[in-house]
Amino acid sequence: MKLAKKGAIRKYGQGTDGQLVPLEFIDQDGTRITATLFSSGIEKYNSILTEGKSYIISKGCIKIANRRYTSINHEFSLILDATSEIKLLTEDLPISEISTYISVDQATEAQYGSFVDVIGIVKFVGESCAVMMKGGLQTSKRIICLCSETGCTIPVTLWRKFATLQIQDGSIIGLAKVRVSEFNGRHLNSVNDTVIDFNPKDPKIDVLREW
């Protein structure tokens, strides 16, 4: 599998020295899966784990993925530690990139609190404005609206750095890792890890262009 994303070392558990590294792998068929490397495994393997490199992984544990904390559409996730085996390959695996984007119609049915990757046509772009948050902190936000080829729409609130991006009405964009919330129906919100793709590669894009 190829390492698509590697997070920073984090501590977990109050009053413990536990550490973890969040990982995201993609296999040759383009299927993505999340993994977590724990404590002793960090000491053993963290130095060889590099984004874009390919690995053979064995002796890990499989658990049900918590879909509230990931946008990866996979039922399971991997648990890795020092007893797992992670071997760096000298040659990169050929990867068939398969898009994880869902349609706006599907986003309107997504579970509250979950993360989704969605693609759609921008049908409304609001003004960027400053808002006061709890605790007296000021931040920026902008509301846009995404539309599918069926006419289904969903509002999206872009926060902080995303609120100042130049987004054109009528353009097709992909939003990766946006949170589904409830605000007069389904509503999407950006988070710090959200990625906005202004040139998404997806089979759905041809249908959206024709609409």
Residues 19 and 117 in one domain: no
Does any domain span residue 99? no
Instruction: To the nearest 10°, report the CA torsion of 178, 183, 184, 187.
Output: 0
Predicted confidence at residue 71, as pLDDT, reads 62
The CATH code of the domain that includes 81 is 2.40.50.140
Does any domain span residue 95? no
Query: Which run of H or E residues covers position 37?
Result: strand 32-38
- Report d(CA 35, CA 132) in Å as an integer: 36
Does any domain span residue 135? yes
- Please, what is the Cα angle at 49 between 39 and 175, to 5 degrees? 100
Query: Which run of H or E residues covers position 172?
Result: strand 172-182
Short-list 62, 186, 32, 42, CA closest to 113: 186
Give the Cβ contact number of residue 189 at 10 Å.
17
User: In this structure, are residues 154 and 186 in contact, taking their beta carbons and an 8 Å threshold?
Assistant: yes
User: In this structure, are residues 10 and 19 in contact, taking their beta carbons and an 8 Å threshold?
Assistant: yes
Residues 73 and 126 in one domain: no
Predicted confidence at residue 68, as pLDDT, reads 67
- Report d(CA 115, CA 69) in Å as an integer: 7
Residues 75 and 152 in one domain: no
* Single residue among 41, 58, 88 that ends a domain in this structure: 88
Say yes or no to pLDDT of 49 above 80: yes
Does any domain span residue 170? yes
| Three-state SS at 76 | strand
Residues 108 and 206 in one domain: yes
For residue range 116-173, list pLDDT tens digits in order: 889 999 999 999 888 888 777 888 999 999 999 999 999 999 999 899 999 999 999 9
Number of compact structural domains in the chain: 2
User: In this structure, are residues 201 and 97 in contact, taking their beta carbons and an 8 Å threshold?
Assistant: yes
Predicted confidence at residue 15, as pLDDT, reads 65
Parent domain of 143: 104-210
Residues 25-29: what's their mean pLDDT? 81
